[in-house]
Amino acid sequence: MPFDLSSRLAERRAAHLYRQRPLLESPQGVRVMVDGQPLLAFCNNDYLGLANHPKVVEAFTQGAQRWGVGGGASHLVIGHSGAHHQLEEALAAFTGRPRALLLSSGYMANLGTVTALVGQGDTVLQDRLNHASLLDAGLLSGARFSRYLHNDPESLGSRLAKTSGNTLVVTDGVFSMDGDLARLPELCARAKAAGAWVMVDDAHGFGCLGPQGGGIVEHYGLGSEDVPVLIGTLGKAFGTSGAFVAGSEELIETLIQFARPYIYTTSQSPALAWATLTSLQLLRDENWRREHLQHLIARLRQGIQSLGLQLMDSPTPIQPVLVGSSARALMMSAALREQGILVTAIRPPTVPKGTARLRITLSAEHSLADVDHLLTALEQANRRVSGALHD
Ligand code: PMP
């Protein structure tokens, strides 16, 4: 039988790597209804709690009335509406760059940008732990592709010594499964000295880092000469969906001409772009959301440390608890769920073998009492799972 899908699925199941989709029966948020069960969730990326903010919902409704629901066509045909255009201008101003380009998802922004900038004869250097969309983009580009050790400027430096053609250094700003920050000042200095460009995917940094939510670049005080290509996604702290690339006039024109995932797809819903204008305003102006998140992060880290569980080096709302085996991660996640708490077990191939984890994410919608509730449940889950594994 040429396509033996059932064996393939059975193998995945046997290795505790089978993925399932919980069915969300309520709006996104920290209190959700999943598969008929009310749960306190610590696994969405709505870090600032904007996905259902009444002002964002209202803007979405108004946007639908004014600009319509469907994009209707690709941007280059007749899908580029005033709503998209205003959002691009606002994102350019927010990032302090001449222009921004709106795409339908972060995955497409990464594929489109890398493949438009490098090709055969060029070089792309990436952090080993970059998001899958960046790694896929590197492979698709046809450029010489090499991965340096995680967040290691020395390792990047040794690869920069052996490049050909145009060289693009690509890194997550905040690593999506670990929550740590890219060592951008050192990485950028190495790249600049070698004449390479740096592209940062700051999907998880925008909204959370920097005094005005300007992300990792704002956090470190870096400029466009350090990071000429800056990617943000809108499905996380912005609470909507889509992505943008911010950069020079020439960069954005190059993407409009050559980025296939931009050119050959329907534009995102104009109503969504309109709603994102409102969420951008809230993200920038409501500093209390970032401050509250910092309190939640501190409380959670302190609590997890005192439980003797293993945290990662993360100052962000992504706070993974390292568990080790996939089986143990699944058991911990199930034990939490029995106590009304939803935390996803992240397993290979999303993370390296032997590093399965509970990926806890915090949102400004959580209260300190929610964090305490999670800590109590984690203690119990850990005790139960340790007991079961020793039996
Ligand atoms: N980059 C990173 C670092 C991500 O974590 C994600 C999504 N999890 C993406 C890109 C893809 O973004 P989107 O969900 O908008 O496709």
Establish whether 176 is a catalytic residue.
Answer: yes
Q: Name 347's Cβ contacts closer than 8 Å, sequence gap at least 6.
A: 16, 17, 326, 329, 330, 356
Q: Is residue 5 domain-resident? A: no
Q: Among the three residues 263, 285, 307, which one is the final residue of a domain in this structure?
A: 285
The number of residues in the chain equals: 391
Question: Does residue 354 share a domain with residue 252?
Answer: no
Question: Does residue 182 share a domain with residue 90?
Answer: yes
- Protein residue whose Cα sits closest to atom 7 of ligand 1: 106
Q: Is the CB of 203 under 6 A from ligand 1?
A: yes
Q: Is residue 82 domain-resident? A: yes
Looking at residue 359, its pLDDT comes to 97
Looking at residue 168, its pLDDT comes to 98
Q: Is the CB of 176 under 6 A from ligand 1?
A: yes
Question: Does residue 265 share a domain with residue 137?
Answer: yes
- Predicted confidence (pLDDT) at residue 72 exceeds the cutoff of 70: yes
Question: Does residue 159 share a domain with residue 66?
Answer: yes
Identify the CATH number of the domain in which residue 222 sits: 3.40.640.10
Q: How far is the CA of 239 from the centre of ligand 1 (A)?
A: 13
Distance CA 142, CA 170 (A): 15
Q: Is the CB of 106 under 6 A from ligand 1?
A: yes
* ipTM over cut 0.95: yes
- Protein residue whose Cα sits closest to atom 5 of ligand 1: 176
Q: Is residue 322 domain-resident? A: yes
Q: Is the CB of 318 under 6 A from ligand 1?
A: no
Question: Does residue 281 share a domain with residue 240?
Answer: yes
Q: Name 163's Cβ contacts closer than 8 Å, sequence gap at least 6.
A: 123, 125, 144, 194, 196
Q: Is residue 296 domain-resident? A: yes
For the beta sheet containing 123-127, the strands, ordered from the edge strand earlier in sequence to the opposite edge, are 99-103, 243-247, 229-233, 197-201, 167-172, 123-127, 144-148
- Protein residue whose Cα sits closest to atom 10 of ligand 1: 106
Looking at residue 388, its pLDDT comes to 82
Looking at residue 387, its pLDDT comes to 84
Give the number of the atom of ligand 1 that is nearest the alpha carbon of residue 174.
3
Q: Is residue 7 domain-resident? A: no
Question: Does residue 313 share a domain with residue 215?
Answer: no
Catalytic-labelled residue, pool 75, 80, 84, 204: 204
Q: Is the CB of 44 under 6 A from ligand 1?
A: no
Please answer whether residues 238 and 283 qualify as being in contact, where contact means their C-beta atoms are separated by less than 8 angstroms: yes
Question: Does residue 296 share a domain with residue 280?
Answer: no
- Predicted confidence (pLDDT) at residue 16 exceeds the cutoff of 90: no
Q: How far is CA 28 from the centre of its chain?
A: 17
- Predicted confidence (pLDDT) at residue 170 exceeds the cutoff of 90: yes
Which domain does 22 fall in, by range?
Answer: 14-48+287-390
Average the pLDDT over 148-162 and give the result.
97
Looking at residue 389, its pLDDT comes to 77
Pick out the residues of the known binding site for pyridoxal 5'-phosphate: 106-107, 176, 204, 233
Burial of 263 (0-12, 13-18, 19+ CB in 10 A): middle
Catalytic-labelled residue, pool 53, 75, 236, 366: 236
Establish whether 292 is a catalytic residue.
Answer: no
Q: Is residue 1 domain-resident? A: no
Question: Does residue 333 share a domain with residue 280?
Answer: no
Q: Is residue 3 domain-resident? A: no
Q: Is the CB of 133 under 6 A from ligand 1?
A: yes
Question: Does residue 128 share a domain with residue 151?
Answer: yes
pLDDT band, very low/low/confident/very high, at 391 (cuts 50, 70, 90): low
Q: How far is the CA of 383 from the centre of ligand 1 (A)?
A: 34
Q: Is the CB of 319 under 6 A from ligand 1?
A: no
Identify the CATH number of the domain in which residue 315 sits: 3.90.1150.10
Distance CA 122, CA 164 (A): 6
- Protein residue whose Cα sits closest to atom 11 of ligand 1: 106
- Protein residue whose Cα sits closest to atom 15 of ligand 1: 106
How confident is the model over 330-368, as pLDDT tens digits? 999 999 999 999 999 999 999 999 999 999 999 999 999
Average the pLDDT over 91-116 and give the result.
98
pLDDT band, very low/low/confident/very high, at 138 (cuts 50, 70, 90): very high
- The percentage of the chain sitting over the pLDDT mark of 90, rounded to a whole number, equals 96
Give the number of the atom of ligand 1 that is nearest the alpha carbon of residue 172.
3
Number of domains within the chain: 2
Q: Among the three residues 269, 285, 301, which one is the final residue of a domain in this structure?
A: 285
Q: Is residue 326 domain-resident? A: yes
Catalytic-labelled residue, pool 176, 241, 314, 333: 176
Question: Does residue 221 share a domain with residue 78?
Answer: yes
Establish whether 146 is a catalytic residue.
Answer: no
Question: Does residue 217 share a domain with residue 91?
Answer: yes
How confident is the model over 43-59, as pLDDT tens digits? 999 999 999 999 999 99
Q: Among the three residues 267, 285, 303, which one is the final residue of a domain in this structure?
A: 285
Question: Does residue 169 share a domain with residue 100?
Answer: yes
